[in-house]
Amino acid sequence: MPTKNIIEMKNINKLYPGIQALNGVDFIIRRGEAHCLVGQNGSGKSTLIKILSGVEKPEPDSKIIIDGELCNHLNSKISMEKGIQVIYQDLSLFPNLTVAENIAFGSNREKHSKFVNWKNMDKIARKALDEIGVNIQLHKKVEELSIAQQQLVEIAKALTVELKLLILDEPTASLTKREVNSLFRVISRLKEKGISILFVSHKLNEVFEVAEQVTILRDGLKIGVYSPKELDHDKLVYFMTNTREDKNHPKPLEDDADVILNVKNLTKARNYKDISFELKKGEILGITGLLGSGRTELALSLFGMNPPDSGEIIFEKQEVKWRSNREAISAGIGYVPEDRMNHGLIMDQPIIDNITITTLLSYVNKAGLLEDGKRLEMLNEMKEELKIRMSLPEAAVKTLSGGNQQKIVLAKWLKVNPKILILDEPTIGIDVIAKNSIHTLIKVLANLGMSIIMISSEIQEVQTNCHRILIMRDGKILCEFKPDELTEDELLEKYNLS
């Protein structure tokens, strides 16, 4: 007789040195439901998942019941045997192996066979992909797939062993809107089979779309369990953070603000075509559109890294032809790339080295050597100003949370004090509070006269924080509008952005 609840966790406590990561949390997932776990960084949601997947052990007085069975001594092997599978954000696939082999790897190993049965492997993989209704070539190597496809391969892989609960950690962080929809279709198919889904997400609008129940954690405490109907965006943010979201629109521009940048008929083959727009001093210009719409390529061209084939860039009333980003930087352009882990920061290096890298020359003494005192001064100033939460200046950047990492990237550009700052997906994968403070900061900077180009896939983000918005598709500007002219839904409808 199957129980109603697949997971019952009672009075879960977890102490780390100095922190109570979880404080008496009760957590229930029903059979065949999609359950969402939300909370900021440090709220305890990753700890809860780690306990459920057997990676971490809770304090002794905690109780875990999986499918009606008390499992107080969970380890990762037992957890998997009980039918719990986790799909991590960084995925656990072998890029050099084929789709089929990746999917069938686990089930092949389970049989303890010493030899590989290639035919059977294809069968297992085909069956798993059919189950989620996805068609991916079995003999393609995983490294040739998009992130979205890779994720589906991973879900298919989870289906090859007995699956009762699938935990998805930030599954939509690097997907386009369309890919997210596809993922949700797969999730509802799994639900029909009676498989429960635990969904961890920062993206609040998705929470409402996919979940039947939402559990909110804050500072290791359970705030409550709600159905999405009882929540709205503002309420959820409030429960998660205990603060209200910054929903202020930027201050209107002065009518006589100077035009700082004028782009005319900018074209680059296979990137973008016939792009024209103006940017005024102190203006926040949003550019939105799907991934692959040419927006990043355009941004790189404005930053001197992807020279256009034809067209003009007029910066401060003069035509410029930057051939490298060094020229663009010295003219006063800053660029915060989308991929902060690979392009924005040197992850293994100290915070202090990262934050001062754009302005190194200003910390040298008369002998031409770097002075650490000056660098520390700059770091402390920025730490204060941007409320960066960090331990030691010597700690590697990768030890910071996503939000604080992004603040480091911003800080190193603020110090340069550019005239135009280009932000490519500035709040991707960071939590609400950090997002809030970045939005506030952007508006403050604009108010001080900095012009900002903000690229974002999140329409709501550009709607609230920009003076003017451009929509791009297939390398062209589709239209231009002011935030109050259209609502998000009208936009999605009209330009088919979903």
Partner 1 sequence: MNFSALKIFKKNENILTIIIILMILVMSLISPSFFSLENTFDILRGATFIGICSIGFLFVLITNGIDISFTATATVVQFLMASLLLSDKNIPIAVILLGPIVVGGLLGALNGVLINWLKVPAIIITIATLNAYYGGIQFISGGNQLYGFPKWFTSFPRKLVLKVLNDDGVTIGLSSVTVIWILVCIIGFVILRYTMLGRKIYAVGGNTIAADRQGINVNRTRIFVHAFLGLVAGVAAIIHAMLTQTAAPNALIGKEFDVLTAVVLGGASISGGAGSIRGTVLGVLFVAILKNGLTVMAVPTFWHQIFIGLIMVASVATTATRTRLDKKKAGGVDFEEA
Query: Applying CB under 8 A, which residues contact partner 1?
Result: 77, 88, 90-97, 101, 105-106, 108-109, 113-116, 133-136, 143-146, 148-149, 152, 178-179, 182, 185
- Residue pair 78/17 in contact by the 8 Å Cβ criterion: no
In the bound state with partner 1, the residue whose beta carbon lies nearer, of 65 and 91, is: 91
- Residue pair 408/345 in contact by the 8 Å Cβ criterion: yes
Nearest distance in Å: CB 109, partner 1: 7
* Cα–Cα distance measured from residue 446 to residue 429, given in angstroms and rounded to the nearest whole number: 23
In the bound state with partner 1, the residue whose beta carbon lies nearer, of 93 and 433, is: 93
In the bound state with partner 1, the residue whose beta carbon lies nearer, of 139 and 321, is: 139
Nearest distance in Å: CB 64, partner 1: 21
CA angle, 482 then 483 then 488, to 5°: 130
In the bound state with partner 1, the residue whose beta carbon lies nearer, of 110 and 490, is: 110
In the bound state with partner 1, the residue whose beta carbon lies nearer, of 173 and 331, is: 173
* Cα–Cα distance measured from residue 264 to residue 277, given in angstroms and rounded to the nearest whole number: 7
Nearest distance in Å: CB 99, partner 1: 12
Pairing label, strands 259-268, 318-319: unpaired
- Residue pair 103/125 in contact by the 8 Å Cβ criterion: yes
Place of tokens 């109050």: 484
- Residue pair 36/207 in contact by the 8 Å Cβ criterion: yes
CA angle, 98 then 78 then 108, to 5°: 25
Please tell me whether residue 20 adopts helix, strand or coil conformation: strand
* Cα–Cα distance measured from residue 145 to residue 351, given in angstroms and rounded to the nearest whole number: 34
**Of the candidates 21, 63, 48, 23, the residue with the CA atom closest to the CA atom of residue 200:** 48
Q: Is 24 left (phi over 0), alpha (psi -120 to 50) or beta?
A: left
**Of the candidates 344, 346, 345, 320, the residue with the CA atom closest to the CA atom of residue 332:** 320
In the bound state with partner 1, the residue whose beta carbon lies nearer, of 8 and 338, is: 338
Nearest distance in Å: CB 133, partner 1: 6
In the bound state with partner 1, the residue whose beta carbon lies nearer, of 99 and 454, is: 99
Structure tokens at 464: 């609230």
In the bound state with partner 1, the residue whose beta carbon lies nearer, of 116 and 444, is: 116
In the bound state with partner 1, the residue whose beta carbon lies nearer, of 145 and 236, is: 145
* Cα–Cα distance measured from residue 228 to residue 241, given in angstroms and rounded to the nearest whole number: 18
Nearest distance in Å: CB 46, partner 1: 15
DSSP H or E segment with residue 279:
strand 272-280
Amino acid present at 336: V
Nearest distance in Å: CB 419, partner 1: 33
In the bound state with partner 1, the residue whose beta carbon lies nearer, of 108 and 404, is: 108
Nearest distance in Å: CB 37, partner 1: 20
Nearest distance in Å: CB 423, partner 1: 25
Nearest distance in Å: CB 261, partner 1: 29
CA 378 to chain centre: 28
Please tell me whether residue 440 adopts helix, strand or coil conformation: helix
Nearest distance in Å: CB 190, partner 1: 15
CA angle, 422 then 341 then 16, to 5°: 125
